[in-house]
């Protein structure tokens, strides 16, 4: 009887710890990333990890290219900045002429929103990247906002800017 009492006390604990309950299928988990249309998803609507990683990596590379371009603008050598554009230049007049026309640019703070895929590829081959710029100029601070569109280079060696739209923020 002495040995039976400890076994009776342990038995309910063992029963509870081994019992599995199925997860509630109606519970929704918030997800910040949006699958591009055409991305292969499983029956549960979740993208395969490799496809999600490739899309995320492509978005990061496109944003890095944009930051490198914007970092090259304040210098005297606009040729280096022009090389980031499709066709070797921004066109005439440049899509971001309002930014390129600022004289006395001493510094720039770049903040971008998450890149938005413009196609249904996986990973996407084109993005629109919303930007918010805070410029330090000789005449005082200037704010601008807009977007840049980038696409993967034909040779697969990076990204190039195809168009832009920037406007000064008043106030």
* Domain ranges for the chain: 48-168
Residue 160 pLDDT greater than 70, yes or no? yes
Q: Would you call the peptide bond into 123 cis, given omega within 30 degrees of 0 as the criterion? A: yes
Identify the CA nearest to 142 among candidates 96, 90, 107, 93.
107
Helix (H) or strand (E) holding 136: strand 126-137
The pLDDT tens digits for 101-119 are: 888 888 899 999 999 999 9
CATH of region 48-168, choose from 3.10.450.50, 3.30.160.340, 3.40.50.970, 3.10.450.40: 3.10.450.50
The pLDDT tens digits for 1-34 are: 555 555 555 545 444 444 444 444 333 323 232 3
Give 34's contacts (C-beta < 8 A, 6+ positions apart): none
**pTM as predicted:** 0.70
Mean pLDDT of the chain: 78
The residue ranking higher by pLDDT, 6 or 97, is 97
């Amino acid at each position: 009887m002495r040995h039976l009492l400890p076994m009776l006390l342990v038995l309910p604990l063992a029963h509870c710890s081994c019992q599995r309950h199925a997860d509630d299928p109606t519970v929704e988990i918030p997800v910040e990333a949006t699958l591009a249309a055409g991305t292969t998803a499983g029956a549960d609507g979740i993208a395969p990890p490799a496809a999600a990683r490739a899309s995320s990596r492509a978005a990061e590379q496109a944003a890095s290219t944009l930051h490198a371009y914007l970092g090259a603008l304040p210098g005297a050598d606009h040729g280096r900045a022009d090389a980031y554009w499709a066709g070797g230049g921004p066109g005439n007049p440049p899509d971001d002429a309002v930014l390129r026309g600022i004289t006395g640019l001493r510094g720039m703070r770049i903040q971008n929103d998450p890149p938005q895929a413009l196609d249904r590829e996986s990973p996407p081959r084109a993005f629109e990247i919303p930007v918010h710029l805070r410029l330090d100029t000789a005449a005082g601070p200037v704010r601008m906002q807009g977007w840049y569109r980038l696409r993967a280079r034909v040779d697969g060696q990076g990204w190039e800017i195809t168009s832009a739209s920037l406007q000064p923020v008043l106030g």
